[in-house]
Structure 1
Amino acid sequence: GGLDNLLKGAATQCLQNLNLALGYDEYTGIPN
Structure 2
Amino acid sequence: MSDKPYEEYNILLRKRINDAEEIESHILFAYIY
Work out whether the TM-score is over 0.5.
yes
Larger Rg computed on CA atoms:
2
Q: Which has the higher helix share?
A: 2
Structure number with greater CO (CA < 8 Å, separation at least 6) is 1
In structure 1, stretches of 5+ residues that fail to align are 25-32
TM-score normalised to structure 2 length: 0.69
Task: Work out the percentage of aligned pairs sharing the same amino acid.
Answer: 17
Aligned-residue CA RMSD (Å): 1.4
Structure 2 residues without counterparts, runs of 5 or longer: 1-9
